[in-house]
Amino acid sequence: MIGNPKPEKRVKTIEDKLRASQICKRHGCLKWQCHPHKLSEAKPRKPIVSKKPIRVKPKADRRKLTRTERSLLEAELVKLCSEYVRKRDLRCVTCGSRTELTCSHFIKRAVQVTTYDLNGNLNCQCKICNEAHNHDETQYEKYIVKTYGKEKPTILRALAGITYFKWSVVELRNMVDETKKKLEEL
């Protein structure tokens, strides 16, 4: 049986695709030259109404909206540490600038063990140096080695390897008190 030969597949070019997007599928005319197409006159949909009544959780089962003592202490400690470090250093430790000073963490703040370490991990940096040290920490590391010793960066990195650590509320209270005393001494 000899059948009709299959037509060769034509590869569509960008021009063909563009032309196809400009042609009206309904009438075969060009979209912008033809009459404006009317939207189909479909019946408006009815809103979906659930037959089930809305249940509200009892007050005892609702989520707490107040902050916990831990989160309040952590927020206060972050502010106190930042203020202490900026008053202690008075300038950026890497470039020496005195504008837009921030409290910089050599090991990121997410690592709880070193978050409030005033002797090594927390130092004052300007905003530009603080953002730059996230990509290239060589200048910041040189300062830490010069100030705290050769071992300090390796100690901080080893502490950062601790996967799970959480300060207790009592420890946080003690750190808040100690930091307040250090601030008064400055």
pLDDT in tens, 73-90: 999 999 999 999 999 888
pLDDT band at 180 (very low <50, low <70, confident <90, very high): very high
Question: What six digits make up the tokens of 92?
Answer: 């950026």
Greater model confidence, 105 or 24: 105
Which pLDDT score, from 0 to 100, does residue 34 have? 55
Which pLDDT score, from 0 to 100, does residue 178 have? 92
28 pLDDT above the threshold of 80:
no
9 pLDDT above the threshold of 60:
yes
Neighbours of 159 (CB within 10 A): 17
The pLDDT tens digits for 87-125 are 988 888 888 888 889 898 888 888 888 888 888 888 899
C-alpha to C-alpha distance for 162 and 87, rounded to whole angstroms: 30
Nearest-10 crossing angle of helices 138-148, 151-160:
110
171-184 average pLDDT score: 91
